[in-house]
Structure 1
Amino acid sequence: MRNESRNELLTKVQELSFACLDMNLYLDTHPDDKKAINTYNSLCSQFIQAKCAYENKYGPLTNFGYSPSKYPWQWVCNPWPWDKEFNN
């Protein structure tokens, strides 16, 4: 597997997050669609893996109990996507 950049990893997280949300909304109106449930569960698994890959390399994406932190506290240590240093 090639070494993905910060932007590539973040894009993958965002795409999978959107896909999970989209499937969630579909399932709200089609709760008996077994194929859609399987797709949703697969996407959720891929999202968790992508989020962990990003956070292991670049630090937490969310706080408030959704992402554990290494020492020292990482939430404030990394550049944000809108910071110039983010792409370096």
Structure 2
Amino acid sequence: MSPVFAVGFGLYLLNLGVGLAAQLRLARFGVWHHLLYFAVFASTAAALFFTRETGLILTVVCLSAFPRARPRTWIHPTLGVLGLVGYLLSLKP
């Protein structure tokens, strides 16, 4: 696993945890969640560019759709899980 892929995947998992906590109303993150989203998007785009893993296309598409998906709707967590699938499809056995 390349370092850029590992960083992107780690940040994605961290953001999923933050999003889950926010979805369940366990915590409020405010602007920090948005800054983390930007870091996740940038690191995922870099991972796609440097590794050329086709599964990451799904993740980038899902991340691109997030600004239009309202929090606490069904589409928001669905995009998160589909983006995770993109990363999982890109993992090498």
Tell me, yes or no, if structure 1 residue 46 matches structure 2 residue 39: yes
Q: TM-score normalized by structure 2?
A: 0.54
Distance 1:32 1:80, change over 3 A: closer
> CA-atom RMSD, angstroms?
2.9
Structure 2: gaps of 5 or more residues: 63-89
**C-alpha contact (below 8 Å) 2:18/2:33 kept by paired residues:** yes
Q: TM-score normalized by structure 1?
A: 0.57
Runs of 4+ aligned residues of structure 1 deviating over 6 Å after TM superposition are none
**C-alpha contact (below 8 Å) 1:27/1:37 kept by paired residues:** no
Structure 1: gaps of 5 or more residues: 1-5, 68-78, 83-88
CA deviation after TM superposition for structure 1 residue 63, in Å: 4.3
- In the other structure, the counterpart of 2:76 is none
Query: Which of the pair has the greater relative contact order for Cα pairs under 8 Å at 6+ separation?
Result: 2
Larger Rg: 1
- In the other structure, the counterpart of 1:18 is 13
Distance 1:56 1:62 in 2: 9
* Count of residue pairs the alignment pairs up: 64
Which structure's residues are more often helix, by fraction?
2
